[in-house]
Amino acid sequence: MRRFKKLEFIAGILLTGTMVLLVMFSGLLFPDGGEAMDLSARLARPGVDWAHILGTDPIGRDVLARVIVGGRISLLVGVFSVTGAMVVGTIMGLVAGYYGKFWDTILMRWADVQLALPFILVAMTFTAILGADLWNLIVFMAISQWVQYARVVRGSVLTLRDREFVQSARSFGVRDWNILLHHLLPNVFGPVLILVTLNVANNILLESSLTFLGLGIDPIIPSWGGMLADGRSYMQTAWWISVFPGLAIMATVLGLNLLGDWLRDFLDPTAKV
Amino acid sequence: MKFRNRLLAACAATAFIWPMAARAAGTLTLAQVQDPASYDPIDTFLLAWGQIGTSIFDGLVQRGADMQLKPALATSWEMLDNNMRIRFKLRDGVTFQNGEKFDADAVKFTFDRLLGPDGAKGPQQSNYTAISAVNVIDPLMVDIVLKRPDPVMLTKLAGYGAVIVPPKYLSRVGHAEFAIHPIGTGSFKVVDYQPKVSITLDAYPAYWGGAPKLDHVIFRFIAEPDTEVAELQAGRIDIAINVPISLTGTIAKDPKLFVASVPGPTVTVLRFNTANGVTKDERVRKAMIMGVDRTAIIKSILQGNGTEVASFQGSLSFGYDPAQKPLPFDPAKARALLKEAGIAAGTPVQIDFRGNDATFREVAQATAGYLSAIGLKAGVKPYEQNLFTNDIIPNGKTAEMFQFGWGGWTFDYDNTAYLMYHSGEHWNPYDKDPALDKMLEDQRSITDRDTREKALQAIAHYVADHTLELPLYNINTIYGVNKRVKNLTPPADNRFLLNDVTVE
Amino acid sequence: MLGFLIRRVLQAAFVVLVVTLLVAWAVRLSGDPAVMLTQGAGSVTAKDLANIRTGLGLDRPFSAQYLGFLGGMLTGDMGRSFIGGTSVGLLIRHALPLTILLAVVSLALSIAASIPLGIHAAVKRGGTADQVIRILSLVGLSFPNFWLGLMLVLIFGINLGWLPPSGAGEVSGIVMPAATLAIILTATNVRLVRSTMLDTLSQQYIMVARSKGLKQRVVLYRHALRNCAIPLVTYIGLQFGGLIGGVVVVERVFNWPGMGSLAFDAVSSRDYPVLQAVVTVLAALIVTVNLAVDVAYGLLDPRIRSE
């Protein structure tokens, strides 16, 4: 059991670490940023030419280079949007759950309005008004997802608020922010962390869905989601264009979630069976 | 429980819309991207309407698969009063699909409606403003009187706003009902319409051109090309209309299917922002044209499904000059021109394009690749279609280059050139050239065919000499077709003539 | 309880009202439908465009347009589409049942799969079954829904030919779109069930129940599941909005003529009446589901109801 956990942790570190390192040093490995094209070598099969070991795409660009460089945009979108959503959402949820009444009503009604608007439609409308742009995408995602954190945190705080340890802390005169920070925050960490690990992955995929709907960013700059979306029409004739970025996404998601699980166990001593 | 039953009922109710109809004998199923939503001819300019409307309605004249005009509801016509009046002799014994008789009154009713307040609410009216009146001479003869000569009027009478509608039926049911239950004189009659799902037509046996060989024609609306091709592969549709190049390989390798690729009306160019930035300099524009290997793009990315163009028109267009040649691909000369213009290496340029155009998405990236190879730093930016065509282009908010695909079904260069290059036109945000304006205005009043053709060719040369655009290609219209479909002439203009088509 | 209900219903109505205002405002920033309608037209003059705008009622001030739309929604007359003048009510009557069907079937499939799998994984924590379930759930999370959908089409629609690749024409047409949505939902739900179950199982009363010798099944499905129902129900409520969002993409892949397809087309063509109505109806639907979740909350945990 212990050994298995350790294995998971090592696998998570290895997968995530490798992906992050590759992405960080992609500029050194592929100075052209995966943008060099050669129309005469378009749709080359993988494993035939050493120069294009994973094949080429319809523009004749190297799939290996694009998969590795493509992690930059994908991780950027995933990490930044989730960080924004998590920070805002957790604070809102703590405040709403702990203080209740007025704040709870305001925040939760605001959250309800957002929850009632399907994200894709909002994104489409705002892309129509503002144009597709990397930072617009990140901000859209953060704005639309903070609600998830707020609701989950609030839900947990509501059940925790009246528990003995919070009540006793309060009766000892511990200040509100202290209770929030030291007693409630650690206890909502588990569900939030799960959401984070899921949403980083989810947002990498969301970028892909937006490209599928024709709302993505500059397709010259490689991104996993964009490659997956652009490769879909070649699925039956050139599978490698979308399968390799798909595998890159899988490796990253798997790594992140393994780490997330391990972290959860580490932070939550009661869960040790 | 009740709720679940209702849902099941909803499911069952929709289950009989097209019960695997594609396999049925005598039934042809086509799929297209869009439901035109209204089948009233005054309502729309959509290609999606033309694809279906051609089977339901007829004009006074008709354009065959060879793109030549031929008699339809009019058996003959003559130009009178120095081309200011066209006299049509109408076909006798034609009936609308509801049995209503076709005659001169129907023609008059159609045009009065098109040019009156009803027509003003729709986009078709603007195309027929040259008509001042329609006069009934006798039940089988009408005169169309023009305010000003319109060299493409006869072509325009072959479709869209000018197809003849039944006066009695329309007056009785009104516009809203006619829009979803249209009646015309065409070879197929609408029998069922499910908004956004499908429209089913049955053969109209009393069709004046002879009863169609098919019994039923079903048009299904499928937004996503990948899904459309999947349905084609599964044998549930017979013809997939407008397949993107990226899926032609999939169709070609399926033994049951074939790719039909015919020269189409649409020409694609990259227009320059000639008012601001580096592309204000003619030398830079010339360098950018010479730096892009258009032949290679057509050969590789389009897979040969297109032809190179020298101006904003294809070879079928009136005004096309076969002698006109595009600037050659010459990267060395391009670099020299950029140097001469004082453009530093790594100067950024951007290509704006419509994000949902899968084929152009690849073309834009390849073009940017070529531009980067001559020392520019080229990027591409996809826009949401409506934003692009309604705001970015007309309001002059584009980057250095922007995608523009154009091709009126009338195949006349005037239809493109005037709108693209005349000062103050909606689609012309940047250019102001009095000399060009005059050329464009003058050709409109020339009625002699040859003189006008020369004038149009001169415009095409003038535009090329001033490098207002990077001419790319005339892209083919591509259909994916099941081999069981026989006698199909894939139309260049998307307007299917299905009268002689059969299925095995 | 009644006061709680009334308050929540009023709040929900307020939320829908805010949504209608937001959507009516935002859609009018996004472009001119008259220009869209005349795309491909010969020469369109400013006068032609003005004519079309007047015909569509867009020359009126925003307040008049908004109140007209709101009044229409209340009286059940949702107006006519800008594209072709089809009745919006008719379009929605066709589309809404199909979208609800798709959402309910995929949610049901997902719950049916994730509760037993999640509980099993929690009980056999660290064992092979747990590992397999977790790895599979991760794999399910690693594809964008459109890609997963296209893969299913490729396998079951084209290669095997078992299911229709698209459309709501046959009853079997729902299998692939619902499965696509359900696979992704299940991947998250399994993890949620597992982790809340682990929390619950480590709590004293469960240990007590177990030590009293209650049957494993009874402990799990009666005591533990009830306790982890709160986060699960919250999350399913949350998912419903996301599910409707996912439906937009999946409906497009499978050409499912539901609300998502309708909304997508309406955004693309700036069909204000259709978009306003679709978003309002969807918002009302989501708000109702969330309301139901809150009420369920109150039933499951009386402490919340009391405040």
Mean pLDDT across B239-253: 93
Interface test with C, best of A144, A195, A209 (most C CBs within 10 A): A209
Number of domains chain C contains: 1
The alpha-carbon gap from B279 to the nearest alpha carbon of chain A, in Å, equals 21
pLDDT of residue B25: 66
Q: Minimal Cα distance from A222: which residue of B?
A: B365
Q: What is the DSSP letter of B100?
A: P
Q: C13 CB near a chain A CB, below 8 Å?
A: no
Mean pLDDT across C168-193: 87
The answer to whether B291 and B503 have CB atoms below 8 angstroms apart is no
* Residue C34 CA from chain centroid, whole number: 31
Strand-pair partners of B261 = B478
**Is C284 a member of any domain?**
yes
**Is A37 a member of any domain?**
no
Q: C154 CB near a chain B CB, below 8 Å?
A: yes
Domain coverage including residue C219: 88-306
CATH code for the domain of A74: 1.10.3720.10
Q: Minimal Cα distance from A212: which residue of B?
A: B356
Q: Taking CB atoms and an 8 Å cutoff, what residues of chain C touch A166?
A: none
Q: C210 CB near a chain A CB, below 8 Å?
A: no
Q: Minimal Cα distance from A133: which residue of B?
A: B381
Q: Which of B11, B38, B386 lies closest to C101 in CB terms?
A: B11
Interface test with C, best of A115, A147, A258 (most C CBs within 10 A): A115
Q: What is the largest CA-CA distance in chain A?
A: 76
The C-alpha atoms of residue C43 and residue A168 are separated, in whole angstroms, by 78
Q: Is the pLDDT of residue B203 over 90?
A: yes
Name all chains with 3 or more CB-CB pairs below 8 Å to chain C. Answer: A, B
Q: Of B182, B28, B73, B38, whose CA–CA distance to B499 is shortest?
A: B28
CB contact under 8 A, B382 and A132: yes
- Comparing A263-272, B42-51, C148-157, the range with the smallest average pLDDT is A263-272
Strand-pair partners of B85 = B80, B145
**Is C47 a member of any domain?**
no
Residues A31-81: tens digit of each pLDDT: 888 888 888 888 889 988 888 889 999 999 999 999 999 888 888 888 899
CB contact under 8 A, A132 and B369: no
CATH code for the domain of C296: 1.10.3720.10
Pairing of strands B131-138, B141-146: antiparallel
Residues A218-246: tens digit of each pLDDT: 888 888 888 888 898 998 999 999 899 98
Compute how many other C-beta atoms are within 10 angstroms of the C-beta atom of residue A255: 23
pLDDT of residue B369: 92
pLDDT of residue B6: 45
Number of domains chain A contains: 1
pLDDT of residue B1: 36
E strand segments, B318-439 = 347-354, 376-383, 401-406
Q: ipTM more than 0.85? A: no
Q: C18 CB near a chain A CB, below 8 Å?
A: yes
pLDDT of residue A238: 92
The C-alpha atoms of residue C8 and residue C103 are separated, in whole angstroms, by 24
Mean pLDDT across B263-270: 88
CB contact under 8 A, A261 and C264: no
Domains of chain B in start order, with CATH, are 28-57+187-262+478-504 (3.40.190.10), 58-166 (3.90.76.10), 267-475 (3.10.105.10)
Domain coverage including residue A120: 2-30+49-271
**Is C138 a member of any domain?**
yes
**Is A155 a member of any domain?**
yes
The answer to whether B351 and B361 have CB atoms below 8 angstroms apart is no
Strand-pair partners of B402 = B271, B352
Q: What is the mean pLDDT of chain C?
A: 81
Q: Is the pLDDT of residue B269 over 80?
A: yes
Mean pLDDT across B394-406: 90
pLDDT of residue C42: 52
pLDDT of residue A4: 62
Q: Measure the CA angle with vertex B447, ends B443 and B453; round to 5°.
A: 55
Q: Of B114, B95, B113, whose CA–CA distance to B103 is shortest?
A: B95
Interface test with B, best of C32, C36, C44, C90 (most B CBs within 10 A): C44
Which residues 205-244 on chain A approach chain B with CB closer than 8 angstroms? 213-221, 230, 232-238
The answer to whether B48 and B33 have CB atoms below 8 angstroms apart is yes
The alpha-carbon gap from B228 to the nearest alpha carbon of chain A, in Å, equals 11
The C-alpha atoms of residue B130 and residue B156 are separated, in whole angstroms, by 11
Residues B272-302: tens digit of each pLDDT: 999 988 999 999 999 999 999 999 999 999 9
Q: Which of C18, C231, C303 lies closest to A113 in CB terms?
A: C18
**Is C73 a member of any domain?**
no
Grade residue B2 by pLDDT with cuts at 50, 70 and 90.
Answer: very low
**Is A115 a member of any domain?**
yes
Record the pTM: 0.85
Residues B132-172: tens digit of each pLDDT: 999 999 999 999 999 988 878 888 898 788 999 999 999 99
- Comparing A92-106, B244-258, C166-180, the range with the smallest average pLDDT is A92-106
The alpha-carbon gap from A26 to the nearest alpha carbon of chain C, in Å, equals 22
Residues B325-380: tens digit of each pLDDT: 999 999 999 999 999 999 998 999 999 998 878 899 999 999 999 999 999 999 99
The alpha-carbon gap from A21 to the nearest alpha carbon of chain B, in Å, equals 27
Which residues 50-89 on chain C approach chain A with CB closer than 8 angstroms? none
Q: Is the pLDDT of residue B4 over 70?
A: no
